[in-house]
Amino acid sequence: MNTPVVTEASRRRTFAVIAHPDAGKSTLTEALALHAHVITEAGATHGKAGRKATVSDWMDMEKDRGISIASSALQFEYAPEGHEGEPYMINLVDTPGHADFSEDTYRVLTAVDAAVMLIDAAKGLEPQTLKLFRVCKARGLPIITVINKWDRMGREPLELVDEIVSEIGLQPTPLFWPVGEAGDFRGLARVNDDGEAEEYIHFIRTAGGSTIAPEEHYSPDEALAKEDGAWETAAEEAELLAADGALHDQELFEQCETSPLIFASAMLNFGVHQILDTLCTLAPAPRERHSAPAAVAASTSAMDEVREVGDDFAGVVFKVQAGMDRNHRDTLAFMRVVSGEFHRGMQVTHAQSGRSFSTKYALTVFGRTRATVEAAYPGDIVGLVNAGALAPGDTIYSGRKVQFPPMPQFAPEHFRTLRAKSLGKYKQFRKALEQLDSEGVVQILRNDARGDANPVMAAVGPMQFEVMQARMEVEYNVETVAEPVPYTVARRTDAESAPELGRQRGVEIFTRTDGELIALFGDKWKLAFIEREHPEFTLETLVAD
């Protein structure tokens, strides 16, 4: 066991921010960076009083629409007040909020150790929040719950707690309870292990919320004198929840049964450093990861079933992204370090192909800003430049062989053909198609009848098509035309079923880039009819376990 690596891993905190669209994820991401003193002034989503776009939203479409449509990795150091020793290394991944990009978010959740679930104070739990929570629960990811936008009119805090308990079976355990109702956010009551409000943290507004909000700290008696009924209400509500058993238990938190609860306003920078402090003190450090069972069984050589953080280097790729640097036209493979020490230039093996390659160009990424990384440890996110053979879900390693489970893949529900407007741009079209396909922006389906110049795009949501076309135009100077096709359902099939299946009316067979045979059906009723009439056909959903 490599003790220095274990020590470095122990100070890593790697987490994702998840929420429904417009809950304030990107604003919170930048507020966290502000409180870590990585930036000196926070921006906000585009269009709010002319303030600049958030540092994590680097794509033009994100800036134009004020939403996140691609995951973005930020890394910075942070030391809570009173912390002794080395500061924590924070690896924060801001995920897409729009449901059309759920697949990208799901991939991110395979690369983190915890999640911050952001909930709008006025809207409460929303469909995308519920969906993402279930993924965290299935993966055993501990969740810290943040009720955001408490500076605006919203619901009662106890009502929001009840909704979380009843809708998703997660028990919030208040650590910082609001003083003042929604829309009158005065500060936070720090709640101790017994559920008592032991300190009042009063926030002072700054101009536009662009800088860190100063804090004033008061004892309970001083808080009662200063805030009167607002403090008394906060203290009573905290005690009421404690009497109902809503107390923090680290073991239950790590089992995703309970969730530390914090109220905040990311826009005003209220409650932000409390979120960071909670992540540092309660969120788990990187841990061991299990190999894919199928890979273990198929291997003819000795393979570790579990990779401990102090073992030889291993990492998993969770995202591939091009177009982040227009000057260099390169591709970044985002890798989560799982075990061991990574150092730039080291020779590693690609588990899926068995090929060896050198990691000559490795970067840490802060939004669109890059810096060369010389060394990284478990929990860190590293961008490998122009590692063209890597795809989401791939494993790279040194020493004893390991291969981690593949990334989940969603069943597409929307399909369109894609072609270049100009035949003279066919070469650029092919290059762009190959690159964006490798990133997983959409799934690309081909067959002989349509040819390479007119493939079918398959996506979870229609906005993915817009991203595909916009990036082809901006990054590759190729204008494209997308047209609908008469299909709504996709299933995986095999070489034995494909010939006869393809002769059925309302069915078309394609080959996906990874070699899988995909059958498209006009609608679910057509699929049901064929399944009933031809039970011998192989028809499987496209969602990976």
Domain at 15-282, CATH class: alpha beta
The answer to whether domain 289-397 has CATH 2.40.30.10 is: yes
* CATH fold of the domain at 414-533: Alpha-Beta Plaits (3.30.70)
Taking only the tens place, the pLDDT of each residue in 348-371 is 999 999 999 889 888 876 656 778
Looking at residue 124, its pLDDT comes to 94
What element of type H or E holds 317? strand 314-322
Looking at residue 102, its pLDDT comes to 61
Q: Which residues are annotated as a binding site?
A: 94-98
Task: Return the beta strands (E) in 95-248 as ranges.
Answer: 114-120, 143-148, 171-179, 187-191, 197-203, 215-218
Q: Is the pLDDT of residue 234 over 90?
A: yes
Taking only the tens place, the pLDDT of each residue in 163-203 is 999 999 999 999 999 999 999 999 999 999 999 999 999 99
Q: How sure is the predictor about 54, in pLDDT bands with cuts at 50, 70 and 90?
A: very low
Q: How sure is the predictor about 544, in pLDDT bands with cuts at 50, 70 and 90?
A: very low
Taking only the tens place, the pLDDT of each residue in 471-518 is 888 888 999 999 999 999 999 999 999 999 999 999 999 999 888 999
* Count of alpha carbons within 13 angstroms of residue 455, beta-carbon side: 20
Domains 289-397 and 414-533 equal at CATH topology level: no
Task: Assign 3-class secondary structure to 55-112.
Answer: CCCCCHHHHHHCCCCCCEEEEEEECCCCCCCCCEEEEEEECCCCHHHHHHHHHHHCCC
On whether the CB atoms of residues 210 and 42 are closer than 8 A, the answer is yes
Q: Could you give phi then psi for residue 375, rounded to 5 degrees?
A: -150, 150
**What Cα–Cα distance (Å) separates residue 322 from each residue in 67, 258, 381, 383, 477?**
19, 38, 16, 11, 14
Q: Which residues are annotated as a binding site for GTP?
A: 94-98
- Spell out the domain ranges in the chain: 15-282, 289-397, 414-533
**Spatial distance between the Cα atoms of 265 and 27, rounded to a whole number of angstroms:** 10
Looking at residue 370, its pLDDT comes to 76
* Chain mean position to CA 286: 16
Structure pTM? 0.81
**Spatial distance between the Cα atoms of 287 and 341, rounded to a whole number of angstroms:** 14
Taking only the tens place, the pLDDT of each residue in 296-334 is 445 444 455 899 999 999 999 988 876 555 555 567 888
Q: Could you give phi then psi for residue 11, rounded to 5 degrees?
A: -100, 10
